[in-house]
């Protein structure tokens, strides 16, 4: 059995493998508050790149950033019944505004007149602001995004995937017409799909959620669904058409062009640090993290070979010169991001640390390489034993193309994996077999995405969920809309939908 850097392997214990990849890459750790995490510099660097690149895409579509309060009056949530019901079990609530010493302990004091909910999402408090700002059709559209943290009390936390506090962006827009709001909902789903595919190398299905899976209070929820390497689905982003539900609750009313009064049509949309967890599960291997170059904090790491103290300065100087040349190159329209690891530790240890961190290109340079005018090059998307020895000039000239090749290769690999494990299923028995482990004592990775007919009823959906822990992930765009028969109820089905187990 081959030795791997991560124990256990994906095949042996996928959930534990995931935790060990995070630990070995030094991405994050659990905090002293249960369910919350500390995002460490390498993990933050990934999120920072995601945030920066997505933010540019939002602004290119006409959106601007703002910030709204962390605390939401309880009465605001109560205005939209379906919304508060959907989030009630996850809400953290502030009831006091100070602490007092009593018997050597600090106890809450100063009860608030009205409890404050720690932001689980911001539709209600942003709606209250929009109600003040919007008076006429001339004030529309309002196209605002905020980068923020939210709190949803989580009983089964898992780093990046489910934490009590997480980071995200939430866009909130208000429009004059239903058609404009629907166009906005679809447009932002397209932004997420493009970002997932081109920046994260994640092939995703786009489509609409079933009624039971919609955002609380939404008329319609669109989503992007990714498959990770244990063949489960992750909802990687959502875009909601809210109709006039929240504008009615918040009083976002405007004077129309013909002198009448109407409630605004609103949307909301968001992605979160869950994208980091999705990326890890989709691309990483049994030696650690594998990062798409577009979001890697450092795209190239230079590892100076410092075995001879008398040549240390010369090697470091050569590494600095190489880094400067590489930073003059571009990949994906940006300067290449380069780091030099100057630490005085063993070369093998240093090399493996960067393998586990998932840096796309590792470059060793030592006295012999300097003499030959060459470098030793390793790609993270290939075997750890693979090494090339281009001339320094050749490497510098090809650096951008190499990074783009890795990015494209990861997308192609993930797409092939998804397609291999996406199956058309027409019978209930085949459906059950697809989602049932062959060995219950040691369940191997199984299942995937099932394209199957569904009668559209919540009754059938709940039956499948209870029996197999499988849900309707989305009604896919551009899918097979040929009518058929639901294999579980025998009733007519308008089209196939995507079923999967999910995180």
Per-residue pLDDT tens digits for 382-426: 999 999 999 999 999 999 999 999 999 999 999 999 999 999 999
One domain for residues 194 and 333: no
Nearest CA to 478 among 190, 185, 270?
Answer: 190
One domain for residues 142 and 229: yes
Provide the CATH number for the domain around residue 243: 3.30.930.10
CA distance 376 to 303: 10
Provide the CATH number for the domain around residue 398: 3.40.50.800
172 beta partners: 144, 268
- 251 within a domain of the structure (yes/no): yes
In the listed set 379, 406, 433, which residue is the last one of a domain according to the structure?
Answer: 406
Name the one residue in this structure whose structure tokens are 């470059």: 363
Residue 76, H or E segment? helix 74-78
Provide the CATH number for the domain around residue 455: 3.30.110.30
One domain for residues 214 and 316: no
Q: b/e per residue, 426-445, with b = 16+ CB within 10 A?
A: eebeebbebbeeeeeeeeee
One domain for residues 265 and 173: yes
One domain for residues 494 and 435: yes
- 235 within a domain of the structure (yes/no): yes
One domain for residues 390 and 445: no
Domain that holds residue 341: 300-406
- 305 within a domain of the structure (yes/no): yes
- 52 within a domain of the structure (yes/no): yes
Residue 340's SS3 state is: strand
Q: Output the pLDDT for position 225.
A: 98
Whats the size of the chain, residue-wise? 503
One domain for residues 147 and 279: yes
Dig out the tokens for 159 from the structure: 């780093």
Q: Output the pLDDT for position 441.
A: 60
- 413 within a domain of the structure (yes/no): no
- 414 within a domain of the structure (yes/no): no
One domain for residues 253 and 317: no
One domain for residues 257 and 401: no
Print pLDDT tens along the chain (503 aa). Answer: 458 999 999 999 999 999 999 999 999 999 999 999 999 999 999 999 999 999 999 999 999 999 999 999 999 999 988 888 888 999 999 999 999 999 999 999 999 999 999 999 999 999 999 999 999 999 999 999 999 999 999 888 999 999 999 999 999 999 999 999 999 999 999 999 999 999 999 999 999 999 999 999 999 999 999 999 999 999 999 999 999 999 999 999 999 999 999 999 999 999 999 999 999 999 999 999 999 999 999 999 999 998 888 899 999 999 999 999 999 999 999 999 999 999 989 889 999 999 999 999 999 999 999 999 999 999 999 999 999 999 999 999 999 999 999 999 999 999 999 999 999 999 999 999 999 988 666 666 789 999 999 999 999 999 999 999 999 999 999 877 899 999 999 999 999 999 999 99
In the listed set 406, 438, 461, which residue is the last one of a domain according to the structure?
Answer: 406
In the listed set 406, 430, 461, which residue is the last one of a domain according to the structure?
Answer: 406
CA dihedral 278, 423, 467, 465 (to 10 degrees): 50
Number of folded domains that form the chain: 3
One domain for residues 308 and 176: no
- 238 within a domain of the structure (yes/no): yes
Q: Tell me the pTM.
A: 0.96
Q: Output the pLDDT for position 478.
A: 87
- 355 within a domain of the structure (yes/no): yes
Q: Do residues 499 and 450 lie in contact, with contact meaning Cβ atoms separated by under 8 Å?
A: yes
CA distance 467 to 257: 53
One domain for residues 155 and 192: yes
One domain for residues 216 and 326: no
Q: pLDDT tens, 270-317?
A: 999 999 999 999 999 999 999 999 999 999 999 999 888 889 999 999
């Amino acid at each position: 059995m081959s030795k791997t850097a991560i124990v256990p392997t994906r095949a042996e214990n996928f959930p534990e493998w995931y935790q060990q990849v995070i630990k070995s890459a030094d991405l994050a750790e659990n905090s002293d508050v249960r369910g919350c995490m500390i995002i460490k510099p390498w993990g933050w660097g990934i999120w920072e790149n995601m945030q920066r690149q997505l933010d540019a895409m939002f602004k290119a579509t006409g959106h601007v950033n703002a910030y709204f309060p962390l605390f939401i009056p309880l009465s605001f949530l109560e205005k939209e019944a379906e919304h508060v019901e959907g989030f009630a079990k996850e809400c953290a609530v502030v009831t006091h505004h100070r602490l007092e010493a009593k018997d050597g302990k600090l106890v809450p004091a100063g009860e608030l007149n009205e409890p404050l909910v720690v932001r689980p999402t911001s539709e209600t408090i942003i709606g209250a602001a929009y109600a003040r700002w919007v008076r006429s059709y001339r004030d529309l559209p309002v196209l605002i995004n905020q980068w923020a943290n939210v709190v949803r009390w989580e009983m089964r936390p898992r780093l990046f995937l489910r934490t009590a506090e997480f980071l995200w962006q939430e866009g909130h827009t208000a429009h004059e017409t239903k058609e404009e709001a629907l166009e906005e909902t679809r447009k932002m789903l397209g932004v997420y799909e493009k970002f997932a595919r081109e920046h994260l190398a994640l092939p995703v299905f786009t489509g609409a959620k079933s009624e039971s899976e919609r955002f609380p209070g939404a008329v319609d929820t669109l989503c992007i669904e990714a498959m990770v390497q244990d063949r489960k689905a992750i909802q990687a982003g959502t875009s909601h058409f809210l109709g006039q539900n929240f504008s009615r609750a918040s009083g976002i009313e405007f004077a129309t062009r013909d002198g009448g009064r109407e409630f605004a049509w609103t949307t909301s949309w968001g992605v979160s640090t869950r994208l980091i967890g999705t990326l890890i599960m989709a691309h990483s291997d049994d030696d650690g993290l594998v990062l798409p170059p577009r979001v890697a904090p450092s795209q190239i790491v230079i590892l100076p070979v410092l075995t001879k103290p008398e040549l240390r300065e010369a090697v470091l100087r050569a590494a600095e010169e190489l880094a400067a040349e590489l930073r003059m190159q571009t990949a994906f329209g940006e300067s290449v991001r380069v780091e030099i690891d100057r630490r005085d530790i063993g070369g093998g240890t240093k090399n493996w640390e960067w393998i586990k961190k998932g840096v796309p290109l590792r470059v060793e340079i030592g006295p012999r390489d300097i003499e030959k005018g060459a470098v030793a090059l390793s790609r993270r998307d290939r075997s750890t034993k693979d090494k090339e020895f281009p001339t320094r000039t050749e490497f510098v000239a090809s650096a951008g193309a190499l990074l783009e090749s890795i990015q494209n290769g990861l997308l192609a690999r993930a797409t092939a994996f998804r397609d291999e494990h996406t199956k058309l299923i027409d019978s209930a028995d085949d459906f059950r077999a697809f989602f049932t482990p062959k060995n219950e004592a040691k369940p191997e990775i199984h299942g995937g995405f099932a394209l199957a007919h569904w009668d559209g009823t919540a009754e059938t959906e709940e039956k499948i969920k209870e029996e197999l822990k499988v849900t309707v992930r989305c009604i896919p765009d551009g899918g097979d809309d040929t009518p058929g028969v639901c294999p579980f109820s025998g009733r007519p089905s308008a089209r196939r939908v995507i079923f999967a187990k999910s995180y």
